[in-house]
Amino acid sequence: MRLVILDNYDLASEWAAKYICNRIIQFKPGQDRYFTLGLPTGLPRNHPESYHSYMWNNFFKHIDIDPNNAHILDGNAVDLQAECDAFEKKIKEAGGIDLFVGGIGPDGHIAFNEPGSSLVSRTRLKTLAMDTILANAKYFDGDLSKVPTMALTVGVGTVMDAREVMILITGAHKAFALYKAIEEGVNHMWTVSAFQQHPRTIFVCDEDATLELRVKTVKYFKGLMHVHNKLVDPLFSMKDGN
């Protein structure tokens, strides 16, 4: 397990972006060789605050990607269980997830695997915890009645099957969750803790997120930054043929 600690949110975001870029380029993707990037999901496709809308507006429409290669769970599907099963099948047919990128909630949930979720769960319909509903209210003008109470999500087991997992954790309000993730044992009440048992997990955080960690822990991982920075420097380029 790696813990990469940057000074602030912007630097943590930049480091993560460079890492993802290098991983894709090193993979040398081609017409018949796909790099599969896994991401959590959520609301109905046509909702302006849905994950589908967010990803298209902030990522997919800015890059060279075939829309047919972007697979996002459809919360409007007639048969939600069939939608979840089909999603798992698509992941398998693609050869699995090479790199899963996700964040966590203050209660340590990964994707929408709320506290108490099975650590071997697969893609499914999940009831959202009140803390998650309250956190998402800001996207709905603070009106709790507009916030969805259920969502489709990849399971903890689905993410654990990825060859590599990157988890972004920033802000003091996520500090206790980071503490639970790396300094205490695996616990289904803090689903992010499951990734202690993943062979290739990388947590990327800012200083504020480390406030609940032991000083010794922070010093240890900061002492490895010269190693971690070699993962993003140099920054590779497809044009250079690297």
> What average pLDDT score do residues 204-226 get?
98
Mind listing the pLDDT tens digit for each residue in 1-14?
999 999 999 999 99
Query: What is the pLDDT, as a whole number, of residue 40?
Result: 52
**pLDDT exceeds cutoff 90 at 160:** yes
Q: Tell how many helices (H) and how many strands (E) occur in the chain.
A: 8, 7
- Note every long-range contact of 16-20, with CB atoms under 8 Å and residues 24 or more positions apart, other chains counting: 16/101, 16/166, 16/168, 16/204, 18/232, 18/233, 18/235, 19/166, 19/202, 19/204, 19/231, 19/232, 20/99, 20/101, 20/166
pTM: 0.89
> What average pLDDT score do residues 177-198 get?
97
**pLDDT exceeds cutoff 70 at 104:** yes
Contact 187, 110 (CB under 8 A): no
Distances 95 to 4, 68, 89, 191 between C-alpha atoms, Å: 28, 16, 10, 25
Q: 5 has which bridge partners?
A: 205
Query: What is the pLDDT, as a whole number, of residue 72?
Result: 84
Contact 170, 12 (CB under 8 A): yes
Token pair for 221: 């991982």
The mean pLDDT value of the chain amounts to: 89
Contact 105, 40 (CB under 8 A): no
Mind listing the pLDDT tens digit for each residue in 42-57?
566 666 767 777 788 8
Query: What is the pLDDT, as a whole number, of residue 69?
Result: 82
Cα angle: 49, vertex 53, 57; to 5 degrees: 115
Mind listing the pLDDT tens digit for each residue in 63-88?
888 888 888 888 888 999 999 999 99
Query: What is the pLDDT, as a whole number, of residue 109?
Result: 94
Q: If DSSP codes are grouped into helix, strand and coil, which group holds residue 205?
A: strand
Contact 91, 130 (CB under 8 A): no
Distances 151 to 28, 61, 82, 125, 131 between C-alpha atoms, Å: 34, 24, 14, 6, 14
Mind listing the pLDDT tens digit for each residue in 117-147?
999 999 999 998 898 889 888 888 889 988 8
